[in-house]
Structure 1
Amino acid sequence: MLQLPRHVDGRGSLGVIEAHDLPFDIRRIYYLHDVPMGAVRGEHGHRRLEQLILCMHGRVEVILNDGKRQFPFTLTDPNTGLYLPPGLWRRLRFLQPETTVCVLASRPYEKDDYIYDYEEFLAWARQRQGEG
């Protein structure tokens, strides 16, 4: 989890992300919105991509999996970002209406970076971790 700077005064809050706040250069930004409450997004892994996930509004559950263990997180604060290094399966479940999630990514969209089949991901993770 990365805590990001926040500036608060009588006019509200201003969140700031600068290059030195991230462990990667931003090459793509995308956002998820108008997702029905309870819906699931993600359910894939990345071979090379690094990401920072921010819940800009609402509440989202993020379950990460490295092929051995699961790591659950709940995001509710736009000043707390969840860093995802390469090699993790991710599953996002939207827990409140009107939740908006923003994702900062280290690479442009590359179809061959995605692993959509969970069994294929597990085999890739085992091989990556030197287990066969």
Structure 2
Amino acid sequence: MSLIEWIELPNLGDHRGALIVAEADKIIPFEIKRLYYIFDAKPDISRGFHAHKELNQIAFCIKGKCKMLMDNGIEKQEVWIDQPNKGLLIPPMVWHEMHDFSDDCIMLVLASDHYDESDYIREYDKFLVERV
């Protein structure tokens, strides 16, 4: 089973330009309760380094690119996020890290719930214990 699952959003644009649409409970497989974006990230500084107990997320690089490491505690996979309409699904209990941000990277993340610090697992050893 692959750790990598893409969510592809339709481009409804025309000769005037692109128009990407994300609809909750349709193409997005959950109700969107929060969104956030990362920009001006430093290419040599990695981010993430955590897992969530219950939160589902989808990460899109709406501009630029970054490399995402996905780790379920058994296998690890790396993938570039580099298309504005193609998002990476980050399910619960998957450790994820973001590396090698391009200078122009803008990462948009859709989340299934509001921020809750108690949902985070920020220590890799603790993640390995809790994932079983």
- Which TM-score applies when normalising by structure 1? 0.91
Q: Which amino acid aligns with 2:125?
A: E
Specify the alignment match of 2:64 in structure 1. Answer: 58
CA RMSD, Structure 1 to Structure 2 (Å): 1.0
Gaps of 5+ in 1: 128-132
Aligned partner of 2:8 among 3, 27, 49: 3
Percent identity, aligned pairs only, is: 34
* 1:45 pairs with 2:51: yes
Specify the alignment match of 1:13 in structure 2. Answer: 18
Point out the structure with the larger helix share.
1
Gaps of 5+ in 2: 1-5
Count matched residues.
Answer: 126
Q: Which amino acid aligns with 1:120?
A: K
Point out the structure with the larger strand share.
1
- Which TM-score applies when normalising by structure 2? 0.91
**Which digits, 9 at most, give the CA deviation of each residue in 1:49-102, with x for residues without a partner?**
000110010011011100110021101111101111111000011331020100
* Cα displacement (A) at 1:124: 0.8
Larger radius of gyration: 1
Question: Which stretches of structure 1, 4 residues or longer, exceed 4 Å deviation after superposition?
Answer: none
